[in-house]
């Protein structure tokens, strides 16, 4: 990293006036600024507010490919970072730039770190976010897993299934039963379970454009209930959405429910550990044929 000469000269003094600032860029592109100084500072065009209560733990840098991390702690605030924002995943994978700034002359600053938000812990109205270095991306699984079940999303470019009116629906939130369960209108023409494991996309309201997995779809008389994945954003009554039929990713469902076996993206003939540790019996079929037919 390079320091501007003015900042380098300032750091060489006996008494310095430096602080740290953070610029958080959320997954939706919104940029927020924070500082551990007691006054607002504008750094690189971003206003950094002090009321967030941000504080950072000791940071360290390592040679080689070891992953470095530092914790940043702050208070949940509806004007800055809310519990709903975290639940909606807006901070998942967000980028965080750390600046060292001369608060007497904010034109003199340098970026001393670039991280991404990793694990976030919430408790008692506050949060602790672990900031991971870019080296973390090298420690992530890449490529495909060899699994029996499909790893494509129904209707995407890899699945190639043509979604029609029978497999998609539109609706609105008619009521909230709890944070993860809603009563929906507009889906009365679909049978129970049709949208279980499906993908719901909000088309209006606070979470417009966000997606959430449907854990359970139940139709009882005229009432349609959708149980959403835990941790999803809580919608408001009247929010509209589109929804896609669910798929349990099994070869049997792909073949019988969607007639799309040729595009199945799993490995249904994978024997598995249970077969690998078994032993030959008289009743077994060991002709080398397909496990799934």
Secondary structure (3-state) at 251: helix
Would the pTM of this model clear 0.75, i.e. be above it? no
In the predicted structure, residue 170 carries a pLDDT above the cut 60 = yes
pLDDT of residue 264: 95
Residue 35: CB atoms within 10 A of its CB come to 24
Candidate from 83-92, 163-172, 174-183, 204-213 with smallest mean pLDDT: 83-92
From residue 196, give the alpha-carbon distance in Å to each of 60, 62, 99, 129, 222: 45, 46, 46, 32, 18
Give the residue-averaged pLDDT of 37-53. Answer: 83
In the predicted structure, residue 64 carries a pLDDT above the cut 60 = no
Name the percent of the chain lying above pLDDT 70.
81
pLDDT in tens, 85-136: 777 778 888 888 889 999 999 999 999 888 888 777 777 767 777 777 766 6
Decide which of 68 and 185 is more confident: 185
pLDDT of residue 73: 47
CA 285 – CA 293 distance, rounded (Å): 13
**Which residue reads 């408001």 in tokens?**
236
CA-closest candidate to residue 91, choices 135, 123, 128: 128
Backbone angles phi, psi at 121, to 5 degrees: -115, 130
pLDDT in tens, 241-250: 999 999 999 9
Give the pLDDT band of residue 36 (cuts 50, 70, 90): confident
CA 272 – CA 179 distance, rounded (Å): 38
- The domains of the chain, with CATH numbers, are 5-139 (2.40.10), 168-244 (2.40.10)
């Amino acid at each position: 990293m390079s320091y501007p000469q003015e900042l380098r000269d300032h750091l060489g003094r006996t008494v310095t006036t430096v602080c740290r600032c953070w610029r958080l860029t959320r997954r939706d592109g919104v940029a927020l600024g924070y500082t551990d100084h007691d006054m607002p500072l504008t750094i690189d065009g971003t206003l950094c507010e002090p009321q967030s209560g941000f504080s950072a733990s000791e940071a360290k840098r390592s040679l080689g490919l070891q992953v470095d991390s530092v914790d940043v702690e702050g208070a949940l605030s509806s004007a800055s970072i809310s519990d709903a924002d975290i639940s909606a995943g807006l901070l998942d994978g967000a980028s965080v730039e750390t600046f060292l700034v001369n608060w007497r002359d904010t034109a003199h600053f340098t970026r001393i770190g670039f991280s991404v938000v990793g694990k976030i812990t919430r408790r008692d109205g506050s949060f602790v976010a672990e900031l991971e270095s870019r080296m973390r991306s090298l420690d992530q699984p890449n490529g495909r897993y060899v699994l029996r079940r499909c790893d494509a999303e129904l209707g995407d470019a890899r699945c190639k299934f043509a979604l029609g009116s029978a497999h998609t629906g539109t609706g609105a939130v008619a009521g909230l039963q709890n944070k993860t369960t809603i009563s929906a209108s507009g889906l009365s023409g679909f049978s129970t379970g049709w949208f279980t494991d499906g993908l719901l996309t909000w088309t209006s309201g606070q979470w417009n454009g966000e997606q959430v997995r449907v854990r359970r779809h139940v139709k009882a008389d005229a009432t349609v209930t959708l149980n959403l994945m835990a941790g999803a954003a809580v919608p408001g009554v009247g929010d509209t959405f589109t929804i896609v039929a669910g798929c349990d990713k099994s070869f049997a469902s792909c073949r019988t429910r969607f007639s799309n076996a040729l595009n199945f993206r799993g490995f249904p003939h994978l024997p598995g550990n249970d077969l690998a540790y078994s032993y030959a019996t008289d009743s077994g079929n060991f002709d080398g044929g397909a496990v799934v037919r």
